[in-house]
Structure 1
Amino acid sequence: MAAEKNNGKFQFEISKREKIFFPQEGYTKGDLIDYYEKIAEVMLPHLEERPVTMLRFPNGIEDKRFFQKDEPDYFPDWIDTIEIEKQEGGTTCYVLCNNKPSLIYLANQACITPHIWLSKKDTPDYPDRMIFDLDPSEDNFQEVKSAAGIFRDFLMEKLNLPVFLMTTGSRGLHLVVPLKPEKDFDEVRDFAQEITHYLEKQHPEKFTTAARKNKRENKLYLDVARNGFGQTTVAPYAVRPLAGAPVATPIDWEELAALDSAHKYNIKNIFRRVGKKEDPWKNISAKAVKLDSAVKKFEELSAKQKE
């Protein structure tokens, strides 16, 4: 394909479109590329200026996979990048997926699922998202929906935080709070962890924060690990490497009651939704808040819990 960029061009060849990536449905690499080309206008605002970790499947979802953080040396120079210092020393050169050709190029490199940072290029140490990952012990979406309602009431009613919702395309839901990028990753993760511990104590029969699966006792796992520096989350509208080619999909809270699974939408039916309904996350950044007030409210609630 070729597309204008300043006075030059984005140019690269699409290869092996016929290769099967999703064997059960017969979806090909070409189907994946076509999906990302078509969804780009809706998806790109959620990717722009965020470091990307590529989850690549050169021979489809039933063969070997690997995560790739560093930009390969053969990537074209028109793909934007950012060099970020590792906490253990050295640097990583991350891809920034800032335009449609870059998104299509990644798909052509068998990146089925782009994962993104919770911070942007200009403030890499300061996240503008706080994420709660509701992960059921079994494929029980009703359990996830119930948990999401509890979180929504607590975060929105008790802490006065805006909360956005996304199906993961797998089994669970992501609850996302847009933030002003003022607190560092450790501060945001610690606060998210305090919230999950609080709700675990409030609902010990439902929730667990135990990282080890054998300690979870079939309860719903409240995961906040994605809030750490260098951690990533699946990008909105990204394809998941699962049968059916499901798509991580932002939804309105009003839609949750009628939703029967976290993988309802896929690369084929998502466009009926996008054609009829505006992206529920379109204005998410405009709702960004400082955490200071919520932290104060939470400290007051925690003090009462200990009384």
Structure 2
Amino acid sequence: MASESTELTVAGPHGDRTLRISSPSRVLWPELGITKLDLARYLVDVGEAFVAANGDRPVSLQRFPGGIDGEQFFSKNPPKGAPDFVRAVPVVYPSGRTHPQLVIDEPAGAVWAAQMNTVVFHPWPSRAENTDNPDQLRVDLDPQPGTDFDDAIPVAQELRAVLAEAGLPAFVKTSGNRGLHVFAPIEPVEEFQVVRHAVIAAAREVERRLPTTVTTNWWKEERGARIFVDFNQANRDRTMAGAYSPRALAHAPVSCPIGWDELEDVDPTTFTVETVPARLRATGDPWASMNAEPGRIDTLLGWWRRDLDAGLGELPFPPDYPKMPGEPPRVQPSRARHDPDD
């Protein structure tokens, strides 16, 4: 018996493409009954804005062959049988190894990824033609236990003010979960570790201004009920869910760009695979102008050097990274050995 399938027509910069969707009735979000075909149609509906945000970048695909409650894995290298309109570029990982990574250039590429059971798209902050130098400064505001989305709102607003003082326009989106992502377009002239230092400088400045509600402590035991500014999301091969990407959560949320004027009253749970297409048609894309005037991180790097002179050094890197210059010991503070005479 032939397997169930259907075809979907996807418009794009090179004309219409017809894509086969196998097992279109496979349910990906069980609580809502949202199927693989529903996901593909969602990506058609938001295709232009999705590609504007995530296209021309190395991207990792988070795939769920049996739905969001089942097995999952990440695809970075282009799988066998990828269509000719889905390309790859070589990227260097923290280990120093180089491998090709997928790039999506048109809505049909996103729909093809959905055919491959992709639910979450994780784009790099750098472009395909210059993968070593980010053109986005990204900051992840992560509510810790005892805090929630509403607690992240004033932190995002203060971060916006800090970035403005550094000459950088800021854009915001929901994470699709409990947090917020703040992006600033930058000229791609510095490599990842330098951009990470700029993020740390901005994070420390926000922490100074909001010391009771913000933390840059890497170790969870030291964060408390505060918003963690996750500076390590600025590292090479560290990504977050892209703009307009669905998330693998029960209510099928989307990481959704919003206007700063919306932030005070926004309910992130209302941005879903079922609702975002209509929102996009009604309000347009809040990130449409993001790349119009990229800034430079020189001011933030000046703050980084100022903090170094004041004794604030490098912060920890993710545990799978090689040991980095100036990095403090990678040991949980409560497990650190202390001199008994201290």
Structure 1 residues 5 and 271 mapped into 2: Cα distance closer, same or farther (>3 Å)?
A: closer
Q: Which of 245, 255, 264 is 1:257 aligned to?
A: 264
8 Å contact 1:167–1:250 — kept in the other structure?
yes
Identical-pair percentage: 27
Letter aligned with residue 31 of structure 2:
Q
8 Å contact 1:198–1:302 — kept in the other structure?
no
CA offset digits 1:251-280 (Å, max 9, x no partner): 1111111113x3321111112211121211
TM-superposed CA distance for 1:222, in Å, is 0.6
Q: TM-score, normalised by structure 2?
A: 0.82
Rounded to whole Å, the distance in 1 between the matches of 2:80 and 2:151 is 45
1:288 aligns with 294
1:273 aligns with 2:279: yes
Rounded to whole Å, the distance in 1 between the matches of 2:102 and 2:308 is 41
1:154 aligns with 162
TM-superposed CA distance for 1:294, in Å, is 4.5
Q: TM-score, normalised by structure 1?
A: 0.90
Higher mean C-alpha displacement, 69-78 vs 8-17 = 8-17
Matched residue SS, 2:46: helix
TM-superposed CA distance for 1:304, in Å, is 10
Rounded to whole Å, the distance in 2 between the matches of 1:149 and 1:4 is 37
Q: Which of 211, 215, 218 is 1:204 aligned to?
A: 211
Matched residue SS, 1:236: coil
1:243 aligns with 2:250: yes
Matched residue SS, 2:292: helix
CA offset digits 1:183-232 (Å, max 9, x no partner): 11110101111221233233321111222323221211111212111222
TM-superposed CA distance for 1:297, in Å, is 6.5
8 Å contact 1:178–1:285 — kept in the other structure?
yes
Structure 1 residues 182 and 240 mapped into 2: Cα distance closer, same or farther (>3 Å)?
A: same
Structure 1 residues 152 and 113 mapped into 2: Cα distance closer, same or farther (>3 Å)?
A: same
Structure 1 residues 272 and 179 mapped into 2: Cα distance closer, same or farther (>3 Å)?
A: same
1:34 aligns with 41
8 Å contact 1:82–1:121 — kept in the other structure?
yes
After superposition, residues 18-33 of structure 1 pair within 5 angstroms as 18-33=25-40
CA offset digits 1:6-43 (Å, max 9, x no partner): 99995652100111110111111111111111110221
Rounded to whole Å, the distance in 2 between the matches of 1:120 and 1:276 is 29
2:92 aligns with 85
Rounded to whole Å, the distance in 1 between the matches of 2:13 and 2:293 is 32
TM-superposed CA distance for 1:74, in Å, is 2.8
CA offset digits 1:78-109 (Å, max 9, x no partner): 31111223342432221111012111100011
Structure 1 residues 291 and 274 mapped into 2: Cα distance closer, same or farther (>3 Å)?
A: same
1:115 aligns with 122
Matched residue SS, 1:72: coil
Structure 1 residues 5 and 236 mapped into 2: Cα distance closer, same or farther (>3 Å)?
A: closer
CA RMSD of aligned residues (A): 2.6
Letter aligned with residue 264 of structure 1:
T
After superposition, residues 129-140 of structure 1 pair within 5 angstroms as 129-138=136-145, 140=148
Matched residue SS, 2:189: coil
8 Å contact 1:210–1:216 — kept in the other structure?
yes
Which of 1 and 2 has greater Rg?
A: 2
Matched residue SS, 2:236: coil
Structure 1 residues 304 and 193 mapped into 2: Cα distance closer, same or farther (>3 Å)?
A: closer
2:150 aligns with 142
Q: Which of 155, 162, 187 is 2:194 aligned to?
A: 187
